[in-house]
Amino acid sequence: MDLSSLAKTREWRNVTRETLRNEIIPLDRPAVLKGLVQNWPIVRAGAQSRPALYDYLRTRDAGKPIKILIGKPEIGGVYFYRDDLSGLNFEYAQKSFHETLATIISYADSPRPRANEPRPPAIYTGAALVSDTCPAVAEENTLDILDKAARPRMWLGNAVTAATHYDNMDGINCMVTGRKRFIFFPPDQLPNLYIGPLDLAPGGQPTSLVRMSAPDLERYPRFAQALAVAQTVDVEPGDAIYIPNLWWHNVEALEAVNLSVNYWWVDGRLGGGEPFAALAHALLAITPLAPERRVVWQQMFEHYVFQTDGEPVPYLPPDRRGMLGDMSPELQAHVRAQLIRSLTKQMAPPLREQILRLLWGNR
Q: pLDDT tens for residues 134-193?
A: 999 999 999 999 987 899 999 999 999 999 999 999 999 999 999 999 999 999 999 999
Query: Is the predicted pLDDT of residue 363 greater than 60, yes or no?
Result: no
CA 73 to chain centre: 24
Read off the amino acid at residue 332: Q
Q: Tell me the mean pLDDT in the region 279-289.
A: 94
The pLDDT score that the predictor gives to residue 134 is 96
**pLDDT in the model for residue 311:** 94
Q: What's the CA gap between 78 and 360, in Å, rounded?
A: 44
Average pLDDT over residues 89-117: 89
User: At 332, phi and psi to the nearest 5?
Assistant: -60, -40
DSSP 206-220: -BBSS-TTS--TTTS
Going by pLDDT thresholds of 50, 70 and 90, the confidence category of residue 219 is very high
% of the chain with per-residue pLDDT over 70: 97
Delimit the domains of the chain by residue range.
Answer: 7-265, 275-360
The pLDDT, as a whole number, for residue 145 is: 96
Residue 361, pLDDT score: 62
Q: Count the Cβ atoms, other than its own, within 10 Å of residue 181.
A: 16
Contact between 275 and 187 (Cβ < 8 Å): no
Q: Which CATH superfamily is 7-265 part of?
A: Cupin (2.60.120.650)
> CA 99, CA 244: separation in Å to the nearest integer?
32
